[in-house]
């Protein structure tokens, strides 16, 4: 089977190694598969499923075998392959589109995020946080901006925040270009949007998540279809040597199933419709407190690890300092002793005086190293005191929790 030579991209190097470069037909087959049909790039390089889709309905092997049998001159081979490519282009593109769609429908959304995906020419890959930022920006700006559905770009038509010097024009997430502002979390527009969005008061509503019609599978939510319950998101702020903010999810179904953080996060990647809720918010404080205790315990463990690592580094540095100075002092002791012995053998008085001056200089140098050894010990003690002060600041924690929103949810 001709296509078996050009199976997935993990074997593309081997395929090139066995390619007969002196055979024009072999070269043209490889170019047709590897370059024109782009089988070694795309979603997974090229999977058997992709190749199978291309072969379906196309008598591909017989057509190529016919070219091998009937054509001899390179010009004839080139012409026949060009005709074959033009004839099959539409079928090839349709098969590839169907296969891409099948991959998107049958693989978990988390897999898509972790794959290095090559999107269509008009699209660019965004990581999870960039995608969330773009969605929030689109929701917040509304008619103040015109968004491109096929690319991570938008045109800011008017400034919704007159108190902020935000320029109008095109904005783009991703690599820099000459015709657009680079849009990222640190941009003043993004910072303003995130800050004001975080300060909004959100009402208690019913959110119905439409899992059945979601284009991407979220396997960790599959068992929760047809379940209902309540969910809250809180912000835990920890003030110590530095301020930390942690988001805490708390969710439970009506039949007592507790959702973990990953399930709660993934839930909001599914399309949902909102409507007023007639229920009262449930008390999810016990789940929130439990999650907060886990975070605080983890921070305490991290601080303990940090203390041990810093103390070990300090001790190693101290040992290196002392060892280096002690070696130099010992070398000077040997040199002084040798020079004293040699000076006694000198006959001339002026030579003896000169030798004694050298000895005096070396003894002074040795005294300097000894002082440095004491100074190094003092520096070590000061660094230890500083480390202890830092750890004490980390231990003096002020914590407070703020509920950002609570909802009733259903997954259908």
pTM (whole model) above 0.85 = no
Question: In angstroms, rounded to a whole number, what is the distance separating the alpha carbons of residues 1 and 61?
Answer: 7
pLDDT at site 146: 93
Contact 409, 230 (CB under 8 A): yes
pLDDT at site 236: 92
pLDDT at site 375: 81
Burial of 160-199, coded b for 16+ CB within 10 Å and e otherwise, reads beeeeebeeebbbbbeeeeebbebeeebebbebbeeeeee
- Going by C-beta distance under 8 Å and a sequence separation of 6 or more, which residues neighbour residue 301? none
Q: Please report where in the chains the tokens 């087959």 appear, as a residue.
A: 29
Give the CB-side neighbour count of residue 254, counting CA atoms within 13 A: 10
DSSP code at position 224? G
According to DSSP, the residues that pair with 146 across neighbouring strands are 155
Element (H, E) at 231: strand 228-239
User: Which of 167, 183, 163 has its CA nearest to residue 175?
Assistant: 183
pLDDT at site 409: 95
pLDDT at site 22: 59
pLDDT at site 100: 59
pLDDT at site 5: 38
| Binned average pLDDT, 10 residues per bin, the chain of 412 residues | 39 46 64 52 44 51 72 76 72 64 54 49 58 90 90 90 88 81 89 88 92 81 92 90 87 94 89 90 91 89 82 80 83 88 85 86 86 80 78 78 92 93
pLDDT at site 227: 94
């Amino acid at each position: 089977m001709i296509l078996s030579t050009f199976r997935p991209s993990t074997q593309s190097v081997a395929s090139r190694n066995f390619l007969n470069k002196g055979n024009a037909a072999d070269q043209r087959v490889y170019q047709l598969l590897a370059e024109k049909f782009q089988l070694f790039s795309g979603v997974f390089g090229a999977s058997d499923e992709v190749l199978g889709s291309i072969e379906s309905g196309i008598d591909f092997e017989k057509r190529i075998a016919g070219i091998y049998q009937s054509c001899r001159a390179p010009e004839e081979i080139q012409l026949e392959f060009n005709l074959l490519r033009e004839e099959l282009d539409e079928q090839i593109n349709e098969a590839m589109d169907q296969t891409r769609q099948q991959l998107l429908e049958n693989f978990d959304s988390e897999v898509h995020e972790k794959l290095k995906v090559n999107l269509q020419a008009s699209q660019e890959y965004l990581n999870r946080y960039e995608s969330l930022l773009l969605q929030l920006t689109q929701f917040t700006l509304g008619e103040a901006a015109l968004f491109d559905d096929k690319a991570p770009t938008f045109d800011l038509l008017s400034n919704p925040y007159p108190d902020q010097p935000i320029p109008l024009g095109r904005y783009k997430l991703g690599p820099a270009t000459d015709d657009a502002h680079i849009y990222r979390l640190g941009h003043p527009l993004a910072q303003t949007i995130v800050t004001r969005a975080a300060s909004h008061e959100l009402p208690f509503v019913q959110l119905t998540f439409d899992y059945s019609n979601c284009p991407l599978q979220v396997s960790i939510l599959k068992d929760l279809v047809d379940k209902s319950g309540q969910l809250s998101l809180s912000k835990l702020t920890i003030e110590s040597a530095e301020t930390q903010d942690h988001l805490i999810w708390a969710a439970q179904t009506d039949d007592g199933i507790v959702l973990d953080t990953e399930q709660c996060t993934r839930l909001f990647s599914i399309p949902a419709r909102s409507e007023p809720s007639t229920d009262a918010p449930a008390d999810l404080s016990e789940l929130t407190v439990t999650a907060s205790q886990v975070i605080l315990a983890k921070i305490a463990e991290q601080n303990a690890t940090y203390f041990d690592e810093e103390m070990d580094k300090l001790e190693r540095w101290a040992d290196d300092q002392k060892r280096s100075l002690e070696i130099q002092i010992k070398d000077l002791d040997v040199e002084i002793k040798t020079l004293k012995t040699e000076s006694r053998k000198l006959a001339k008085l002026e030579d003896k005086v000169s030798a004694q001056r050298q000895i005096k200089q070396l003894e002074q140098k040795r005294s300097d190293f000894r002082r440095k050894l004491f100074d190094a010990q003092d520096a070590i003690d000061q660094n230890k005191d500083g480390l202890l002060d830092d750890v004490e600041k980390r231990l003096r924690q002020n914590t407070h929790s703020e509920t950002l929103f609570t909802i009733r949810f259903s997954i259908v």
